[in-house]
Structure 1
Amino acid sequence: MQLFIDESGGLEGKDRLFVVSGVCGDADAFAKRVTKHRRRIGRGRRPLTELKGADLARIAEYEVLSDLPIETRFATVFVRLSDPRHAWAAKELGEPELYARMIEQVRRMVSLGGVDIQGLTIDHGRFKRSVQRRLQDRLERASNRPIPIAFRRSETSPGVQLADLSANLAFRRLNGTPDFGAAPLEGLFRVLDKRYGGGATALDLSEVAPDWLTGEKENGSP
């Protein structure tokens, strides 16, 4: 199975919330589902070149994600600057290091059910190539078993497109975006959580947080 990674939000400006989502499953099956829904959603208007959460209605995102093979696994990790530990880490460690830690935690979460991750594909867009190389080295050193790691543009990777939809939904849910205030959509999100083992977890910084922050509670709830 392949693990695909994308992110939403950030640690600068108004967001103050950074979300990394992973979608793990069969790459060929993902490609077929993305092609199917890209054609369906684009019918009657300009054809879609890719599925992107920022461009789709929330219900359309749900329809795509709920149509994935049952063995698919989701995992989401977030950093919220209102959490003192996360604020400290954003300042002291920087975004690339936090991003690597978030990807590692997503990978561990997906692997808990005995999933054999055979490759890792990360969205190309966030960091320039020199930072990507450092991230790749960092992730390879942290891995118990070396696996191929690649950075791909989302338009060329159906799996990254699915991770984008997952990250976009998780960001909106965690950020309290108004269109998640409706009970039906919140209920649909719970269906995704139950079906694919999703949910969102705060980044664990217990190994690196200083003693004076030890008593601070991470905000682990959406």
Structure 2
Amino acid sequence: MEIDDLAIRFVLKDDLLSLRKVLCDRFLIQEYPKGHCFNRAGTTSDYLYFILDGQVDVYTLNEQGYVRLIGIHQRNTLFNLDNLVNEPAIITTIANTKVTGICVTMNDLLTVLKEHPEHYALLLSYLSKVLRLMCYDAIEQSIRDVKTRLLHFLLLYAHNNESMKIPFSQQRIASAINASRIQVARILAELKASGVIELHRNSVVICSLDGLLEALEERNECA
């Protein structure tokens, strides 16, 4: 796996930067507290949100209340995309930090795009990035084992953010890769013992990208 060859973004940020001023000039800017629920699975809403600052986590929930983190939105992105159709939402979106944003409807977006048609291609490109992430997640869950999913996640997160620090607790990582915390803890302990990572209370620091890639290559050879 060559991470540079994958146009996959677990953390979406700045993809719609050129839309920021257009939306700020037209719509009300609002602030939302940490923990605010923008959208809940099973409910119907007409609203989408453009993030100016902050972070929003995207989850899926099953009937038993099991939570899976499937993506993160940061500044200059649009979320709650399944509200583009008037059907019950599939995802739940919650503010992970204080969020500054703009609430819009599909009609609002259509009006903006009619006045600024140069943004059509940008929005379509953004939608394709979100779709690619969902397809990538489906592949990971259907054909990858837990250790491979964990290695992929660490590499992708580091690549997306150009940082060796992944600010996730072990439980949060488990939610992101659809594994138990015990499974994640065991694999992270193995990686720590080999000197590839350092473990902190609510974060993982990658000490060696080459070491992660080697562990992944060994995993692929065993498959």
Q: Which has a greater percent of strand?
A: 2
Say which one has the larger Rg: 2
Higher relative contact order (CA 8 A, sep 6+): 1
The reply to whether TM is greater than 0.5 is no
